[in-house]
Chains A and B, each alone.
Chain A
Amino acid sequence: QQQVKQSPQSLIVQKGGISIINCAYENTAFDYFPWYQQFPGKGPALLIAIRPDVSEKKEGRFTISFNKSAKQFSLHIMDSQPGDSATYFCAASKEHSSNTGKLIFGQGTTLQVKP
């Protein structure tokens, strides 16, 4: 059972364009939604995260949009740069203290930003 579905699998964007990656989740108990960035040969690095009490969160060129009713959230990378070329993973988790905090990851999106 794939609890977090991510699309597209791969994405090519021109420098300066907007990269958009989408995720959908099934479990309404999830209440913490991070995005991770992974470069080849490296571990995932926390990029930005959102909780369902807000519909949007922005940090620099990175924005998460969250639609609780549709159980969907997306990552927008504005003014995409070649250095943004990496694999991006969405994830979901239950934040309540009684939960273990394990992250359920999407399948990943490989982003290539062309100069």
Chain B
Amino acid sequence: NAGVMQNPRHLVRRRGQEARLRCSPMKGHSHVYWYRQLPEEGLKFMVYLQKENIIDESGMPKERFSAEFPKEGPSILRIQQVVRGDSAAYFCASSSSPLAKNIQYFGAGTRLSVL
């Protein structure tokens, strides 16, 4: 049973380009969370999605960032017009049910570098 899969593992973008980060949750998991980890800091919650719905986006920057979790396919975190401050590790986590939302399993992350 594969764990949470994220790709790409490393992504390099120039300022102004778009970054697309993908996350496939664990098999049987329908709850996806995105967190951002800045260098030397803890993880910060960004957004929580269920299939086709954004449930909580209280941690998402208001501009340039968006997330989706379509009926088919992986969850996507999209960053438009990237800036240097977007350089970070982005982690996706999944959980299995409404009663176990807190029990989250993390992927290996995507490390975004903005030049």
- Complex contact A106–B42 (CB within 8 A): yes
B46 to chain A: closest residue by CB = A102
| One of A34, A49, A95, A103 near B45 (C-beta < 8 A) | A103
Q: Is the CB of A100 within 8 A of B42?
A: no
- Contact partners of A106 in chain B: CB under 8 A: 42
Is B69 positioned at the interface, with any CB of A under 8 Å from its CB? no
Given contacts A32-B102, A43-B108, contact A102 B59 (CB under 8 A): yes
Asked if B104 is at the interface (CB within 8 A of a chain A CB), the reply is yes
User: In angstroms, how far is the closest chain A Cβ from the Cβ of B29?
Assistant: 12
Chain B residues, Cβ within 8 Å of A34: 102-103
CA distance A46 to B99 in the complex (A): 17
For residue A97, give the distance in angstroms from its CB to the closest CB of chain B. 5
Give which listed residue, A89, A97, A100, A108, contacts B55 with CB less than 8 A. Answer: A100
Query: Which label, helix, strand, loop or mixed, suits the secondary structure of the A interface?
Result: loop
Report how far A100 CA is from B60 CA in the complex, Å: 15
Bound Cα distance A104, B35 (Å): 10
Cross-chain contact A100 with B41 (CB below 8 angstroms): no
Contact at A102–B106, with CB atoms within 8 Å? Answer: no
Partner of A101, one of B6, B59, B95, B107: B95
A93, B102: Cβ atoms closer than 8 Å: yes
CB contact under 8 A between A105 and B95, given known A95-B102, A100-B55? no
Q: Decide if B45 touches A43 in the complex (CB within 8 Å).
A: no
Q: Name A100's closest neighbour in chain B (CB-CB).
A: B56
Chain A contacts for B109, CB-based, 8 A: 42-43
Show the binding face of A for B, using Cβ within 8 Å.
6, 32, 34, 36, 41-46, 49, 89, 93-95, 97, 99-108
